[in-house]
Amino acid sequence: MPVSSEVERPESAPDGPALPVNELFASLQGEGKLAGVPSTFVRTSGCNLRCWFCDSYHTSWEPTHAWMGVDDVASEVDARDPDHVVLTGGEPLIHDESATLLRELADDYHVTVETNGTVVPDAPMDLASISPKLSTSTPTPANAPEGVDVGEWEARHEERRIDLDPLSTLVERHDFQLKFVVTGPDDLPEIEGLLDDLRGVADAEIRDDDVLLMPEGQTRKELAATRNVVADLALERGYRYTPRLHVDLWNDAPET
């Protein structure tokens, strides 16, 4: 797939490498192996997919952002003096300049990259937090966010969401976690099929311990309906369960 940023760079963007930044904030890592760890988050705007449930609507369906020079992003991170940085989006890796930022941050911080696993940068990262998208993520006219015309995105999302090449490269090159958004028991055969395929092609061990099941839900109320079902599936199958601590703590507030 040709990598295009899906977000036009305006004339007014700063000179040199720059990124469309939706938000930059300090919080606790809410998901995955590092849940609970204080971290500074850099959220880029723009995505090559359109999950119907995307909890970052203003980076995917309706991208909003300010363009920031990569040096300025790094300075904002420095000012918060964290041990851990999380680069997320949108899909951060559709932007070539994310690789520039990752190289700038590499020596000073533990950096996690939250990615849908469809793009591989030539850049350092301490933890590739890969969230491959299942068929239950695909937008349709019936599940689309209110007021959104899904249009060509149903087919485009479906065509792009899984690509074994970047997935295997990411797990070969980096410490990783595979973090699946689970809507219910019917998602499990698809997760296991994908794990079989990936274990077949990747030259890296994928332990069940690297596989995390995360309940779908953008709000406390939505999570209340999915979390126990997903926890039981994790227990049954021997995968990890990951909470969404930030949703438990702050519901769907921005900058959390």
Ligand X SMILES: Nc1nc2[nH]cc(C(=O)O)c2c(=O)[nH]1
Ligand Y SMILES: C[S@@+](CC[C@H](N)C(=O)[O-])C[C@H]1O[C@@H](n2cnc3c(N)ncnc32)[C@H](O)[C@@H]1O
The interface partner of residue 111, options being ligand Y, ligand X, ligand SF4, none and the CB cut-off 5 to 8 Å by kind, is none
**Interface with ligand Y, residue 71, by CB under 6 A:** no
**Which run of H or E residues covers position 181?**
strand 176-182
**Interface with ligand Y, residue 214, by CB under 6 A:** yes
Q: Are 132 and 162 in contact (CB under 8 A)?
A: yes
CA–CA dist 154, 161 (Å, integer): 11
Binding characters for ligand Y, 34-63, by CB under 6 A (x = yes): -------------x-----xxxx-------
Considering only 59, 98, 112, 242, the residue that binds ligand SF4 (CB under 6 A) is: 59
Minimum CB separation of residue 27 from ligand SF4 in Å reads 17
Window 127 to 166, contacts with ligand SF4 (CB under 6 A): 133
Task: Give residue for tokens 């500074």.
Answer: 40
**Interface with ligand SF4, residue 89, by CB under 6 A:** yes
Considering only 22, 115, 168, 177, the residue that binds ligand Y (CB under 6 A) is: 115
CA–CA dist 79, 101 (Å, integer): 15
The interface partner of residue 218, options being ligand X, ligand Y, ligand SF4, none and the CB cut-off 5 to 8 Å by kind, is ligand Y
CA–CA dist 175, 112 (Å, integer): 10
